[in-house]
Structure 1
Amino acid sequence: MASSPKRPWPAAVAAAAATALMLAFGFALEPVSWLMWLAPAPLLLVVPRLGFWPALLAAEAAWLGGTARIWRYLAESLEMPPVFLVVSAVMFTGMYTAVTLLYRALARRGRHWFAFLAFPSGVVAVEYVGSVVNAEAGGEWWSFAYTQADVAAVLQLASVTGIWGLTFLLMAVPAAIATAFAPGAVRKARIGIAATAAACLAATLVYGLARPVDQGETIRAGALALPTDQDSIDVDTAKADDLFAAYEAEIARIGAGDDLDVLVLSEKIFHVSAEAAGPYLERWSAVAAASGIDLVLGLAIDYPEDTFNAAVWIPADGGATGEYHKQHLIPGLEDWMTASDAGPVFVADERWALTICKDLDYTATMAAYGDQDAGLVLAPALDFTVDGWWHSRVAVTRGVEQGFSLVRAGQIGLMTVSDASGAVLAEDDRLAIADVPTGHVETVYGRLGDWLLFPVAVMLLAGIAAAIPGRRKAKQ
């Protein structure tokens, strides 16, 4: 068993500060992706050498400090209730701390292989439990995996394991570094653990660089959001008329200068009653016909008993429209609306599907799109300015998992066009246009779902069992 230093606090403070700082910038709304490959290492290097209380406090400080910027965003931008934020912060910090103390216990008992595997398994478990507990509020929005969304070779792992494999690999590398220098680790274990982590990383990179993604034919697609200081503007107001006129002029300009096939507008731009929706949509049909561009329009529509957040398909040829209702609403901000459980709506050649913003945070919701071979998903969205990168990359990752391209228009976020490999083909804060492939790509994750959670659970339970002290033999 490792001995504790006589003056543990300076080491505890330094390790907690280093991990917290790297997490704060690595797990951020615009992350420094490479920091996540190192962030837990200082904490894991030190905790086996500390007594229980210094280790506990160092872990709590590191995890709470490292995630503080996210809690601030949820409070200020999403206006989440204080009770929810406090409970969630305590829950996540407590679970991450427990995983860190499990690593410490295993390393101090000389169970270095168990320590190496239990830590990333435990972090995956934290993310999964968080997604279950906060299912209504967040889905799979919270994950270290998204920090790698712009690292193409690593992101391809999501097509096999979903976000769980990315998180596991991200945490396994710093765990391997720390375990290789853990007190009492024998040379054979050090080499074996380092080699295992290196082999997993190398296999991921080789797969990511070699993975074939052929989606066939392309179309010209774009996402557009014009400036406005309000969402869900009543269509009977002068402000709505002015914004409609601005969209009409901009779409006409785009149609004249670009051979665009489809244009996605942002989420719930206007608010209309069901009775007035027909005549109002005729105005948009005229815009689509005049420009020759199929449109996806975000509306809030009042029905007799419910108000839905809708994405409306408006074809330029005057054909049948389609209407999708958002399935996951933001607690507090969208309590005046009703969530739908109707599932995806397919339009055009039945490989294109509609969704809305937050629905892309949910792996199970988007699995229905993969199951029905969606090749292109069209998504009005809103966002909250500071989360434009993060929320767009959560959506892009769903495309990698389920094998579809994405056109997403975030009103106060980003306009993003991406393919099934997660490559961002175009991006801007107002208008993004690109040639985007429309074929569906079969993925392992699309077929098998969260299969990785089973071996992760086995490794975590094995680590917990190995950390339990055995009964001492009775003296003869």
Structure 2
Amino acid sequence: MIAWLAATLLSGLGFFLSLGLGTQWYLAWFAPAPVLWYAFSRGRAGPSFVAAFASYTLGATNFLPAYGSIMPMAVLAQLLCGPALVFALTVVMARYVHARLGSVAGVLAFAAGFAGADFLVSFMPAGGAATSPANSQVDMPVMAQAAALGGFAAVTFLIGLVAALIAEAARRRSSTWLLAAVGVIAIVFGFGALRMSRLGESTSRVALIGGNDLVGNTGDFEEAHTTQILATYAAGVRALAGQHVTVVVLPENSGRLAPAWGERALAPLAAAAREIGATVVVGYNGEFSGARRNLATTLGPHGDRATYAKRHLVVGLETRFFSPGNDPVILANGVEPEICKDMDFPATIRRDAAANRPRMFAVPAWDFGADGWSHARPAILRSIETGTPLARSARDGLLTLNDRFGRLVAEKPVGAGPTTLVGDLPIHDRGGDTLYARIGDAFAWICVLTALALAAASTLRRKRHA
């Protein structure tokens, strides 16, 4: 009982401090190890399952300060218990393989199952990959560069591999297994450092403007207030004159625009874009393509305009009011707008990058205060996966600029009033040129098939010896 409790609490603490709203990225590599040690060395299936489920749920409770009073109960339950259930099943599967096929197979089964399950969870509409363990490594981008090869699942696989090696080292009290874990970490670090050492990039000056109180009525039509909000943003754009800014990104959903007066409300921003010679990306909601949608309109320096509709809506909060969009938008200057939750869905962003080869993602967003950095991380990981720089402006969150390797160029918390961040964003030709962008989720599917094959082989071995 003491071993079970210690393993559960140690893993739970590791998950709490590294995943979700946690920021101790290095603990993600160790967090699964205690419950794996218990499962591999002494745990029966039932106690091992409960230990894994309880530890991961304990870790997920760090989301509560951000979402506890906001998300519908069904969504919150899925956030807390869904990944925990998947993790527990993965641990039990790895234990099963370990007992019948040996240590090497057990270690591989956990790493492949951990990554494969994480990949399958990313298709769930409520969360996407927002809860992926891979997001934790954005805090130390050098450790996340494997995402350019196999997507976020490759990072999750490596985390699972190291944790399983550490668990086996503890079970055997073996320095050989521990050295293997250290070797994997060294390879991950070395590859990341080599990839991030590439130079020779040009820069594009980008501005982000946000304000936590600069939001109109997003549910009802309120012309005077919404027009004033957009006029305030227009004044912020005009204040950038002479700074050679090429792109300005404003937050998501600054108000609801009506067909009768929406053009008048956007006119000051369009004029400001022409005055400073920049593309302005503004978020709002309104009628588009026959339905009410969450929108981002780009206002170009020559009067050109394009509108993008958010494709992945927040379940419970947005799905009641908006219809999802269908297609991406790419501008002539290579800017591709996405909106907030879209960046939690790797498959969508990878397809966009592979098809459109954007020079940068411009992302209006709206976070929940406490999750400012936590929700920026999945978006930054999409940059690493696709090799595309990112400009993200989040009300109740952060203004962030990062390069194609996930390095933060500039970052600033959004205040109550107008908050502006200007930075020179490194640009390397066009994105969508990584191995992951070209081959897609092949590695993730290999992980799924590997885990299933090892589980099947364990079952067949058991039947033969029955």
What is the TM-score normalised by the length of structure 1? 0.87
Pick aligned residue for 1:395 from 379, 391, 411: 379
After the TM superposition, which of the residue ranges 57-66 and 24-33 deviates more from structure 2?
57-66
Indicate yes or no: 2:140 matched with 1:154: no
2:417 maps to none
Indicate yes or no: 2:84 matched with 1:93: yes
**Aligned partners of 1:458 and 1:22: how far apart in 2?**
28
Given that residues 221 and 258 in structure 2 are in contact (C-alpha distance below 8 angstroms), is that contact kept between their aligned partners in structure 1? no
Given that residues 270 and 303 in structure 2 are in contact (C-alpha distance below 8 angstroms), is that contact kept between their aligned partners in structure 1? no
- In the TM superposition, what whole-angstrom CA distance separates every residue of 1:164-184 from its partner, at most 9, and x where no partner exists? 01011111112101112325x
Alignment of 1:56-71 (within 5 A): 56-70=49-63
Pick aligned residue for 2:249 from 237, 240, 264: 264
**Aligned partners of 2:439 and 2:17: how far apart in 1?**
33
Pick aligned residue for 2:395 from 374, 390, 411: 411
**Aligned partners of 1:286 and 1:448: how far apart in 2?**
42
Alpha-carbon RMSD: 2.5
After the TM superposition, which of the residue ranges 172-181 and 211-220 deviates more from structure 2?
211-220
2:164 maps to 175
Alignment of 1:206-355 (within 5 A): 206-211=190-195, 213=198, 216-228=201-213, 230-233=215-218, 236-255=222-241, 258-303=243-288, 305-316=290-301, 318-334=302-318, 335-341=320-326, 343-349=327-333, 351-355=334-338
**Aligned partners of 1:293 and 1:472: how far apart in 2?**
70
Return the offset for 1:243.
2.5
**Aligned partners of 1:346 and 1:87: how far apart in 2?**
34
**Aligned partners of 1:137 and 1:181: how far apart in 2?**
37
Given that residues 166 and 181 in structure 2 are in contact (C-alpha distance below 8 angstroms), is that contact kept between their aligned partners in structure 1? no
Alignment of 1:188-203 (within 5 A): 191=176, 193-194=177-178, 196-203=180-187
What 5-or-longer segments of structure 2 have no aligned partner? Answer: 415-419
Say which SS state the counterpart of residue 36 (structure 2) adopts.
helix
Given that residues 281 and 297 in structure 2 are in contact (C-alpha distance below 8 angstroms), is that contact kept between their aligned partners in structure 1? yes
Given that residues 307 and 336 in structure 1 are in contact (C-alpha distance below 8 angstroms), is that contact kept between their aligned partners in structure 2? yes
Letter in 2 for 1:380: P
Return the offset for 1:61.
2.0
1:6 maps to none
**Aligned partners of 2:351 and 2:271: how far apart in 1?**
33
1:31 maps to 23
Return the offset for 1:231.
4.8
**Aligned partners of 1:52 and 1:331: how far apart in 2?**
34
- In the TM superposition, what whole-angstrom CA distance separates every residue of 1:44-77 from its partner, at most 9, and x where no partner exists? 2223223444333322322222222336744433
Given that residues 215 and 437 in structure 1 are in contact (C-alpha distance below 8 angstroms), is that contact kept between their aligned partners in structure 2? no
Return the offset for 1:358.
1.1
**Aligned partners of 1:88 and 1:263: how far apart in 2?**
33
Return the offset for 1:31.
2.0
Letter in 2 for 1:117: L
**Aligned partners of 1:285 and 1:293: how far apart in 2?**
10
**Aligned partners of 1:360 and 1:43: how far apart in 2?**
31
**Aligned partners of 1:309 and 1:214: how far apart in 2?**
38
**Aligned partners of 1:75 and 1:94: how far apart in 2?**
20
Given that residues 130 and 378 in structure 2 are in contact (C-alpha distance below 8 angstroms), is that contact kept between their aligned partners in structure 1? yes
**Aligned partners of 1:29 and 1:73: how far apart in 2?**
9
Given that residues 215 and 440 in structure 1 are in contact (C-alpha distance below 8 angstroms), is that contact kept between their aligned partners in structure 2? no
After the TM superposition, which of the residue ranges 413-422 and 272-281 deviates more from structure 2?
272-281
- In the TM superposition, what whole-angstrom CA distance separates every residue of 1:241-261 from its partner, at most 9, and x where no partner exists? 4423432333333325x3322
Letter in 2 for 1:142: T
Distance 1:85 1:280, change over 3 A: closer
Letter in 2 for 1:354: P
Distance 1:452 1:71, change over 3 A: farther
Distance 1:304 1:311, change over 3 A: closer
After the TM superposition, which of the residue ranges 318-327 and 454-463 deviates more from structure 2?
454-463
2:349 maps to 366
Return the offset for 1:284.
1.7
Say which SS state the counterpart of residue 274 (structure 1) adopts.
coil
Indicate yes or no: 2:404 matched with 1:420: yes
After the TM superposition, which of the residue ranges 91-100 and 293-302 deviates more from structure 2?
91-100
- In the TM superposition, what whole-angstrom CA distance separates every residue of 1:214-251 from its partner, at most 9, and x where no partner exists? 67432110111023174555675443344234323333
Say which SS state the counterpart of residue 327 (structure 1) adopts.
coil
Aligned pairs, number: 453
Distance 1:409 1:130, change over 3 A: same
Indicate yes or no: 2:119 matched with 1:128: yes
2:430 maps to 440
Letter in 2 for 1:68: T
Say which SS state the counterpart of residue 15 (structure 2) adopts.
helix
Distance 1:88 1:396, change over 3 A: closer
- In the TM superposition, what whole-angstrom CA distance separates every residue of 1:191-233 from its partner, at most 9, and x where no partner exists? 3x54544443322222211115567432110111023174555
**Aligned partners of 1:213 and 1:137: how far apart in 2?**
37
Pick aligned residue for 1:460 from 451, 461, 464: 451
Return the offset for 1:303.
4.6
Given that residues 369 and 402 in structure 1 are in contact (C-alpha distance below 8 angstroms), is that contact kept between their aligned partners in structure 2? no
